[in-house]
Structure 1
Amino acid sequence: MRADAARNLAEVLRAGARLLAEDPGTPLSAIATAAGVDRSTVHRRFATREALLSAVFEAKLDSSEQVLDEARLTEAPVAVALHRYVEGIVPVSREWPVTTRQMMRADPAADRRAAGQSRRLDAFVQRAADEGLLRADVPAAWSRAVLDQLVRTMAYDFPDVTPPQAADLVVDTLLNGVGR
């Protein structure tokens, strides 16, 4: 693929992710305008909005998979892996704001892939509990839900916080809480 074509595709995917997260009914023409490309460029590559959304899901899943791999969830010390994960996943969430709920409705293959990534995180949170970094009297599923919400809140409600600062705050809040 030519460099300009690759750049255009990346812009279409990012614009599609942003606009479709806000309004799943966004027309392809509006996505083309937001991406700064001609409408025919988008239509040539994606016959339907659903095809574009599937490509957006794949891009988000690819990025998420890379973050999971680089965090070394099964090998690195838990606190280190957790910090790496949060520092990596916050920018992914910001760049690809489509949700897994949207994936479930639109793309069963993407949903299965997301479920596999979720299982990796579940196992990691259980590892953190088993190693004593999380309270034993709190279900691992609750700890996972808290982690997900902290990441989501940091990614979307605090866009000016840098990924390293976000990771510091999320990890500290998850492991130590906000009380005295």
Structure 2
Amino acid sequence: MRADAARNLRAVLRTGARLLAEDPATSMSAIAAAAGVDRRTVYRRFPTREALLAAVFQTKLDGSEQVLDEARLVEAPVAVALHRYVEGIIPVSREWPVDVRRMMRANEAASARMKEQSARLDRFVRRAADEGLIRDDVPQEWARAMLDGLIDIAAHRLPDLDPPRAADLVVESWLKGVGRD
């Protein structure tokens, strides 16, 4: 793919993610205009809004999968792996702000990938519990929901918080909130 075509594709995907997160009924013409490309460029690549949204979902899942791999959730110490994961997933969440629930309803392939990624995080939370880092009286589902909520707060409600500092806060809040100390 030519460099300008790749740049245009990335602009359309990013702009589409942002605008469709704000308003799911955003027109393809509005996305093209905001991305700074001709409407025909968008339609050539994505014949429908649903096709564009599916590409946005896949791009977000690609980024999330890379973060999960790089966090080394199985091999690294829990606190280290958690920090890596949070620091990496916050930029992905900010760049691709599409609603995960919508993604899972709208696209079967995206739903399957999302479920696998979620299962990886569930196994990580189970590992933290097995290693005694989570109190016995805290259900693992609660710990996982709390982790997701903290990440969402850091990524979307505090958009000016840089990812390393956000990761510090999330890790400390999570481990002390559900942890033994």
CA distance in 1 between counterparts of 2:105 and 2:115 reads 14
| Residue 45 in structure 1 maps to residue 73 in structure 2 | no
CA distance in 2 between counterparts of 1:22 and 1:44 reads 24
Deviation at 1:167, TM superposition (A): 0.2
Aligned ranges 1:72-87 → 2 under 5 Å? 72-87=72-87
* Aligned-residue identity in percent: 72
The CA RMSD measured in Å over matched residues stands at: 1.3
Amino acid at match of 1:65: E
Structure 1: tracts of 5 or more residues without a match: none
CA distance in 1 between counterparts of 2:35 and 2:132 reads 47
SS in 1 for 2:83: helix
| Residue 91 in structure 1 maps to residue 76 in structure 2 | no
Deviation at 1:41, TM superposition (A): 0.5
Q: TM-score, length-normalised on structure 1?
A: 0.97
Amino acid at match of 2:8: N
Q: Deviations over 1:39-93 (max 9, x none)?
A: 1110110000000000000000000000000000000000000000000000000
- Residue of structure 1 in register with 2:172 after alignment: 172
Aligned ranges 1:101-116 → 2 under 5 Å? 101-116=101-116
SS in 2 for 1:79: helix
- Residue of structure 1 in register with 2:5 after alignment: 5
Q: TM-score, length-normalised on structure 2?
A: 0.97
Amino acid at match of 1:88: G
CA distance in 2 between counterparts of 1:99 and 1:64 reads 14
Deviation at 1:23, TM superposition (A): 1.0
Deviation at 1:177, TM superposition (A): 3.0
Aligned ranges 1:20-39 → 2 under 5 Å? 20-39=20-39
Deviation at 1:29, TM superposition (A): 0.5
Equivalent residues, number? 179
SS in 2 for 1:103: helix
Deviation beyond 3 Å, 4+ runs, structure 1:
none
CA distance in 1 between counterparts of 2:108 and 2:38 reads 30
Structure 2: tracts of 5 or more residues without a match: none
Deviation at 1:161, TM superposition (A): 0.5
